[in-house]
């Protein structure tokens, strides 16, 4: 598919952009352009273009506003020391967007078109990819929405795919400090046969009440339990979770349809297995976490996702208890995995699994 490129007539000046790239907050400023591809039931994907970033004109009856038919992705562009720009496992994100779209009755964008859309945006906005210092990257937000104007309840016959991009620094400010996690005892994120595996806005909306509770209790993230029995740990609002046993193995909740298939999760499992460390993907009960973490048998806990990479977890807090060490330090395995993964992404370490795709 040919992309039409209509350059912005009001891009930021070099000095304005440089100022924003100095110390970018997460997802606050956006590049000069966006990608748009339209879809209709009659004609499929069409009218692919790159145009100026800006507000979208939307009818108040637009289906996405009422029934939440929406899916998204999160993926980054990394500048290497030689100036080249790379992204990480984009085919995996493209496939996941298709799976998410399928679940939400949206059309599936071809994976090649997904990868090409990132390339097209970088072709015009490459100057927005920060220098590789302080973990700065350009974060892409590809998303797809129902774009038909009507209030009936059925899958929309028009949809739109867009990509916007934001220069970002570290997700958690204040360095690699272990984060405290709130255990949601009064809400669930996703139920069996529900939408937990889809990267869709509604899952996030469902997580925010518990997140507010967490903030009020000094925690920055929330751990959700399975909706059925409320005894197994699943994942955080936007990150997968790993428990490290002092004498092995490393354990992470199995993908059972209610957990998001994190690409960072998958990469971390590979890196651990490369080191000869046993990884178990299985059911993990809250009592296993409690007993293991309190006794010291579990020596490290970390969470992972594209936005925050690999983040050490300190204590878990619920309205009933506190689990884990009072003054935690980032664990050795957590720290070295983070070094290795970011090393591959920024081109400092050989990419032995061919995870990087050069965008420019
Ligand atoms: C995006 C996301 C993750 C992390 O996935 P990555 O592919 O590693 O970025 C984990 N959990 C949820 C709920 C997510 O939306």
CATH number at residue 285: 3.20.10.10
Q: Which of 27, 74, 303 to mutate to test the pocket of ligand 1 (most atoms within 8 A of CB)?
A: 74
Quick check: 176 pLDDT over 90? Answer: no
Is any ligand 1 atom within 6 A of the Cβ of residue 213? Answer: no
What pLDDT, in 10s, does the model give residues 278-301? 999 999 999 999 999 999 999 999
Q: Which of 100, 194, 239 to mutate to test the pocket of ligand 1 (most atoms within 8 A of CB)?
A: 239
Same domain, 229 and 336: yes
Is any ligand 1 atom within 6 A of the Cβ of residue 260? Answer: yes
- What is the CA(120)–ligand 1 centre distance, in A? 24
Listed residues 168, 194, 220: the one ending a domain: 168
What is the rounded average pLDDT of the residues 229-238? 95
Dist. CA 360–CA 358, nearest whole Å: 6
Residue 73's domain comprises 4-168
Dist. CA 348–CA 357, nearest whole Å: 15
Give the E-state strand segments of the chain in sequence order: 4-5, 33-40, 44-52, 70-72, 75-79, 85-88, 137-146, 158-168, 179-183, 221-225, 233-236, 240-245, 250-253, 279-282, 298-305, 309-317, 322-323, 356-358
Quick check: 174 pLDDT over 80? Answer: no
What phi and psi, each to the nearest 5 degrees, are found at residue 283?
A: -70, 135
- Number of domains observed in the structure of the chain: 2
Query: What does R_g of the chain's alpha carbons equal in angstroms?
Result: 21
What is the rounded average pLDDT of the residues 190-207? 94
256 against 95, higher pLDDT:
95
Listed residues 104, 133, 168: the one ending a domain: 168
Same domain, 116 and 231: no
pLDDT in the model for residue 93: 98
How do 309-317 and 179-183 pair as beta strands?
parallel
Same domain, 23 and 59: yes
pLDDT in the model for residue 158: 97
Is any ligand 1 atom within 6 A of the Cβ of residue 263? Answer: yes
Residue 293 within any structural domain of the chain: yes
Same domain, 158 and 11: yes
What pLDDT, in 10s, does the model give residues 70-111? 999 999 999 999 999 999 999 999 999 999 999 999 999 999
What pLDDT, in 10s, does the model give residues 213-228? 999 999 999 999 999 9
- What is the CA(178)–ligand 1 centre distance, in A? 19
Q: How many residues does the chain have?
A: 360
Same domain, 162 and 247: no
Same domain, 62 and 156: yes
Same domain, 151 and 225: no
Q: What is the CATH number of the domain that holds 121?
A: 3.30.470.10
What phi and psi, each to the nearest 5 degrees, are found at residue 79?
A: -90, 135
What is the rounded average pLDDT of the residues 240-250? 96
Report residue 326's pLDDT band, with 50, 70 and 90 as the boundaries.
confident
Listed residues 108, 133, 168: the one ending a domain: 168
Q: How many CA atoms lie within 13 A of 310 on its CB side?
A: 28
What is the rounded average pLDDT of the residues 165-169? 96
What is the rounded average pLDDT of the residues 28-51? 98
Helix%, strand%, coil% for the chain, nearest 5: 25, 30, 45
Same domain, 238 and 163: no
- What is the CA(10)–ligand 1 centre distance, in A? 34
Same domain, 289 and 157: no
Mean pLDDT for the chain overall: 96
Percent of the chain with pLDDT over 70: 99
């Amino acid at each position: 598919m040919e992309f039409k490129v209509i350059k912005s007539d009001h891009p930021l000046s070099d000095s304005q952009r440089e100022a924003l790239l100095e110390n970018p907050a997460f997802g606050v400023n956006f590049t000069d352009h966006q990608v748009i591809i339209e879809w209709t039931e009659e004609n499929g994907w069409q009218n692919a273009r790159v145009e100026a970033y800006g507000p979208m004109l939307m009818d108040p009856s637009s289906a996405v506003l009422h029934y939440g038919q929406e899916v998204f992705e999160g993926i980054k562009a990394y500048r290497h020391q030689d100036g080249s720009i790379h992204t990480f496992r984009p085919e995996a994100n493209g496939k996941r967007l298709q799976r998410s779209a399928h679940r939400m009755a949206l059309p599936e964008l071809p994976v090649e078109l997904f990868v090409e859309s990132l390339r097209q945006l970088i072709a015009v906005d490459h100057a927005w990819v920060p220098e590789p210092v302080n973990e700065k990257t350009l974060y892409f937000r590809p998303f797809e929405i129902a774009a038909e104007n009507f209030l009936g309840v059925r899958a929309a016959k028009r949809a739109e795919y867009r990509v916007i991009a934001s220069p970002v620094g570290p997700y958690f400010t204040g360095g690699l400090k272990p984060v405290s996690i709130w255990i949601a005892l009064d809400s669930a994120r996703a139920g069996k046969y529900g939408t937990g595996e889809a990267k869709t806005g509604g899952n996030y909306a469902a997580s925010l009440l518990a997140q507010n509770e967490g903030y009020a209790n000094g925690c920055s993230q929330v751990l959700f339990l399975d909706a059925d029995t409320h005894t197994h740990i699943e994942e955080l609002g936007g990150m997968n979770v790993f428990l490290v046993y002092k004498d092995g193995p490393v354990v992470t909740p199995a993908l059972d349809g209610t957990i998001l298939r994190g690409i960072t999760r998958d990469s971390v499992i590979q890196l651990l297995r490369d080191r000869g460390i046993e990884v178990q993907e299985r059911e993990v009960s809250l009592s296993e976490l409690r007993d293991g973490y309190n006794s010291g048998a579990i020596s490290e806990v970390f969470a992972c996702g594209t936005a925050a990479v690999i983040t050490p977890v300190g204590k878990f807090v619920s309205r009933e208890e506190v689990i884990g060490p009072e003054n935690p330090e980032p664990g050795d395995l957590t720290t070295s995995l983070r070094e290795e993964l970011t090393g591959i992404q920024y081109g400092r370490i050989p990419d032995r699994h061919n995870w990087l795709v050069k965008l420019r």
